[in-house]
Amino acid sequence: MIIASVQPLSPAADAGLQRGDIVLEVDGKPIRQVEDLQAALKDRRVGESVRMLLLRNDDRRVEVTLQLGRRPPILP
């Protein structure tokens, strides 16, 4: 799953996620599509941390720790 954007000052930005990163795993579980990522995070709470394995544009694999925050409101 490719990261399309990262909001400044967000938990994703704090963890070092970058636009174009490909999420390969969350806590060791393979991520192939958006639904996999949603399933891996759905029962987590604000403040919990997850390990993410990413593939960067330069073909490097990078592991980051992301502390979960509140989800932004969905605007109409």
> Has this prediction a pTM greater than 0.75?
yes
pLDDT value, residue 33: 95
pLDDT > 80? residue 4: yes
How crowded is residue 11: how many other Cβ atoms within 10 Å of its Cβ?
A: 17
SS3 track for 16-44: CCCCCCEEEEECCEECCCHHHHHHHHCCC
pLDDT in tens, 31-60: 999 999 999 999 999 999 999 999 999 999
CATH code assigned to 11-67 = 2.30.42.10
- Sorted by where each begins, the domain ranges of the chain are 11-67
pLDDT in tens, 6-37: 988 889 999 999 999 999 999 999 999 999 99
How confident is residue 62, by pLDDT bands cut at 50, 70 and 90?
very high
